Chains A and B, each alone.
Chain A
Amino acid sequence: MAEPLRKIRRTKEPALTHEDDLIKQFKKGRQECLDELIRLYYPVILRYCLWHMPDKDSAQDAVQETFLKLVRFIGRYEPRGQFRAFLYRIAANTCTDMKRSLSSTEFLTEQIIENTRYEENGFQAANDRQQLATAYCALDNETRELVLLRYGQELTLREIATVTGLPLRTVQTRLRKAVKTMRNILDG
């Protein structure tokens, strides 16, 4: 429930005032604010969904579903700088639901990496990417989610804690361990 004051001061929270402003304006009736909000967050949510869904089409379905749910439940959101956690929670739930209604096979991250490989310039870049993929795949599912949210989606630790439902301490410890594991694999 209540976290030590020290920790709260140390974490640098983004203000997210722009998002809150947009939502306030949207609630007052300015429809174009919704456009801007979606344009702002579509790419990053698409990124998140691509890492959870088996292909591009189902990922795009998931993004669309996420934003439709956002609109539906926007009344619930109190503009207090927590928009990202709110949106990502919806995205996480949506991906879980949609994966369940698709076939029951496990979608390996390796497959996703295969499907959406960068067209790398040069051997070195491709090799780096391959190494990173191996390191990432060495982690278990829950830890991969944390790494994705931290380094792929650039959420704060507190936001990750809200989205995953884990305590802040657990998120910190697991991420630290994951980074260590991955660096070990990358360095040799």
Chain B
Amino acid sequence: MNHKNQWNSFFAIEQQIHYSRHMQETIKLAHSANAMHTARCHIPLRTMVAKQVKFFALKIWLFQGLVLAALCALLFQLYSINAAYGIDAFTWAKHSLPKSLCLCSVTVVICAIPLLSRPTRYKMAELEQSTYFSVRGNLLAQLLFIGTGDIGMLSVLVLLAIRLQIAGDTIFLSLIIPFLTAAASGLMLWIRTSPSFFHKAGAILCGLSALFVYKITDNSMLFLPDTAFYVWILYALICIAVLYRECKKLYCRGIFDMLLTE
């Protein structure tokens, strides 16, 4: 591009100034400024997250454990409805068991909401945001503990479902897929909306998205029994990719350097 070179030389007016002496002086001053200024040392992110374990991890896992116990009790109850209760009840229970897995998976996601909203509820949010690690560090730590707990809960539910003689693909479609959908959409919303909005809309939206997926899974097996399963595995991978990407976004500084409190 001819005009680029011409224009560049038009702007290069420093070339007619003798600046080497001033440049040397600047270098010298820069060194003495550097010597005077002692940078603050701070702990890396992983150390901060490790410290948070003793504050929050146990409480989070205890809460999740209680929720898990309630869900297991529900599943057992449904399973235990046998013919003695009447043939209608028995059929209903047999039919509801896989569907209730969907409910369980959404509950696993939703029980993260009261945990994540603790800072707002106890009015710690503003103070936490003004610290060095701010929302980024805090949220990542919380998500790590909640995520670990969620995986634990899901594992127990999967094992229980197997024990209750539910088919493997049903478990995948009724437990894993709704969980991933609700988790991915929930996390995307959490990052992009203000806490007050999310508390009102979040739980509903998580639930809705998971139920929506469940409806599709219900019908897809009917129409495309052979290929549908591979589609759902791909979908699951996409959801996991979304979750990873959202967490990575949190990890990189850019977005949360200035966070709005409204």
Contacts and interface: CB of A to CB of B under 8 A. Distances in A.
**Real complex partners, A and B?**
yes
Interface string A60-89: 100110011011100100100000000000
Nearest to A27: B39
A34 B30 contact: yes
B6 A1 contact: no
Given A31-B31, A34-B31, A78-B253, A64 B12 contact: no
Contacts of A42: 19, 23, 26
Given A43-B19, A46-B17, A64-B25, A132 B34 contact: no
Contact of B16 (A72, A118, A136): A118
Contact of B8 (A78, A133, A152): A152
A51 B14 CA distance: 9
A132 B13 contact: no
Contacts of B7: 132, 147, 151-152
A78 B7 CA distance: 32
A148 B8 CA distance: 9
A39 interface: yes
Contacts, number: 86
Main secondary structure of the interface of A (DSSP, over half): helix
Contacts of A67: 26, 29-30
A132 B22 contact: no
Q: Is the interface of B mostly helix, strand, loop or mixed?
A: helix
A121 to B, nearest CB: 13
Contacts of B237: none
Interface of B: 3-4, 6-8, 10-14, 16-17, 19, 22-23, 25-27, 29-31, 33-34, 37, 39, 253, 255
30 contacts: A31-B34, A38-B26, A42-B19, A42-B23, A43-B14, A47-B13, A47-B14, A60-B22, A63-B22, A64-B29, A67-B26, A68-B33, A71-B34, A72-B37, A75-B39, A78-B253, A116-B17, A129-B10, A133-B10, A136-B10, A148-B11, A151-B4, A151-B7, A151-B10, A151-B11, A152-B8, A152-B10, A152-B12, A153-B11, A183-B3
Given A38-B26, A64-B29, 20 more contacts: A31-B31, A39-B23, A43-B19, A47-B13, A50-B13, A63-B22, A63-B26, A64-B25, A64-B26, A67-B29, A70-B30, A71-B30, A78-B253, A116-B16, A116-B17, A118-B13, A118-B16, A132-B6, A132-B10, A133-B10
